[in-house]
Amino acid sequence: MNVVVVGAGAIGMLVASFIAESSYKVTVISKREEQANLLKANGIVRKNLNQTIRINEVEVMTELSNISKDSVIIVAVKYAQLKDLYASISTLPDVPLLFIQNGLAHYEEALTLPQKTIFFCSCQFGAQKLNDYTVAHRGKGSMKLAFERGNHEAFDFLQQLQLDLLPIQIEENAEYMLFHKALLNCFINPLTAILKVKNGQLLESSHTFNIVESMYNEIILAFPEVKGTLSLEDVLDLCRKTSTNTSSMLTDFLQHRPTEMDTIVGAVIERASRRGSNLPTLSTLYHLLKVLEKSGEKM
């Protein structure tokens, strides 16, 4: 089997490098020739949590069109980058797909694709791209997988890898899994992006802790059904586990790229508002970040 990872960014390189330690062939798709050449020359260099370095060779291609028939695809681009991929993915209806994005907006879109087999994933770990071929693992956490349709065994191989640093957890309901992760991101991503701090720093100040706690109380009031599966401790635990990570939203913000605010925070605010609830603290952060994003564009 050929495991194709589309997008050689933080998560794509990290996941590809772990899978490349198995007997499976791993092909990474980078749309930039320059990055493709660097990956071919250097492999993926992974900085582990304990600061050791691991180098894994992978195949590298710049387009999806030539992948072999025995492939499965892991889509590891940002939400906004998905739309440019849908056309090429649509030409491969028999190839199973796994979407790795944070947020909610891609869920419905993915279901309109002709793909027979679709899975979704929620990453509870952190990754940071250090250069075009080097990635740092920033926090051990599970890779949650949920089957949506088609062949439910297509990604069983990930579980069978039994990788200590990439534990796989199977979830029953893909949409709920994505919603649950979007809520977790709401506590961490906007605040880290606005304050330009790493995830763990949110716990170091009583002020940021109070903001996280207020958001938690407001979210539980709006979505009381999640209380059993999402405690404030779960939020703090994710901050601790990924304490050295620069959240994906802060990374986008620092690089003046569009953030995933709308598919994560905007989508949660909209769900709450459909129930007649507003989330004042989260909404304030949302609007603040929108203003900062706009002023950043002008800089």
Ligand X SMILES: NC(=O)C1=CN([C@@H]2O[C@H](COP(=O)(O)OP(=O)(O)OC[C@H]3O[C@@H](n4cnc5c(N)ncnc54)[C@H](OP(=O)(O)O)[C@@H]3O)[C@@H](O)[C@H]2O)C=CC1
Question: Does the annotation mark 298 as catalytic?
Answer: no
Compose the 198-237 pattern: x for residues touching ligand KPL by CB under 6 A, - for all others: -x--------------------------------------
Q: Which two tokens stand for residue 255?
A: 């690089």
Output the smallest distance, CB 66 to ligand KPL, in A. 31
Sheet containing 53-56: order of strands? 53-56, 44-47, 134-137, 127-131
Q: Say how far apart CA 13 and CA 103 lie, in whole Å.
A: 20
Structure-token pair, residue 36: 């493709």
Residue 29: contacted member of ligand X, ligand KPL, none (CB under 5 to 8 Å, by partner type): ligand X
Which CB, 81 or 151, lies closer to ligand X?
A: 81
- Nearest CA to 81 among 152, 32, 16, 33? 32
Give the residue closest to ligand X by C-beta. 9
Which of 30, 35, 247, 281 touches ligand KPL by CB under 6 A?
247
**Rule CB under 6 A: is residue 242 a binding residue for ligand KPL?**
yes
Task: Output the six-digit token pair for 114.
Answer: 């002709």
- The pair phi, psi for residue 164, each rounded to 5°, is -60, -40
Binding site for ligand X (CB under 6 A): 6-12, 29-32, 76-79, 81, 84-85, 100-102, 123, 126-127, 129, 245, 248, 260
Q: Which is nearer to ligand X, 68 or 210 (CB)?
A: 68
Residue with Cβ nearer ligand KPL (17 or 263): 263
Q: Which stretch binds ligand KPL (CB under 6 A): 40-48, 55-63, 242-250, 274-282?
A: 242-250
Helix (H) / strand (E) containing 123: strand 118-123
Q: Which of 78, 129, 144, 181 is catalytic?
A: 181
DSSP E strand stretches across 21-101:
25-29, 44-47, 53-56, 59-61, 71-75, 97-99
The Cα-based distances of 177 to 86, 95, 101, 229 in angstroms read 23, 23, 12, 11
By annotation, the residues acting in catalysis are 181
Which stretches of the chain bind ligand KPL, using CB under 6 A? 102, 124, 126, 185, 188-189, 199, 238, 242, 245, 247-248
